[in-house]
Amino acid sequence: MIKDLPDNEVTDIAVAVALEGESSESKTWYVYLINLKQQPIENVLITSKGYGEKDGEQVKTSVLRHMFPIVGATAFKVIEPIDEQTFGLNNEYWVSYYIGNQIFDKKFIFLPESIVDSNFIRLPLVNKPGVMIR
């Protein structure tokens, strides 16, 4: 099925993990889809999952699916909250969307321990600290 998809290059689309807030006990994190394009994207489907090794055992999270009918030009959407305990895993977001009748898709993977303060930037459009993959 993947072999049937056209080889359209994904540009100006990003997935980001942002720090929303923190208290003395915990931090609150959200994952965002950021459309940096000057045009909207439509029928956006995102699957998310975590996988990897933790304490010497293979771990997999549930696969979650998200759908947005439209993400406006230079706009963003919250995909989901993310638990800090999964930062030691690969966190994968597979994004598919349409522009007109052309389909685009790309896999974004946050590697273990990549969501750390030293990788933080000010996220475009979202205007919060976080880690972004384009």
Assign 3-class secondary structure to 88-115. Answer: HCEEEEEEEEEECCEEEEEEEEECCCCC
What value does the mean pLDDT of the chain take? 94
Q: Which of 4, 30, 3, 5 is nearest to 16 (CA)?
A: 30
Q: Which of 120, 92, 95 is nearest to 14 (CA)?
A: 95
Determine the average pLDDT of the residues in 8-13. 94
Q: For residue 26, is pLDDT > 90?
A: no
Give the pLDDT band (50/70/90) at residue 1.
low
End-to-end CA distance of the chain: 24
DSSP 3: G
Domains of the chain, first to last: 14-133 (2.60.40)
pLDDT of residue 91: 98
User: What pLDDT, in 10s, does the model give residues 56-91?
Assistant: 899 999 999 999 999 999 999 999 999 999 999 999
User: What pLDDT, in 10s, does the model give residues 107-126?
Assistant: 999 999 899 999 999 999 99
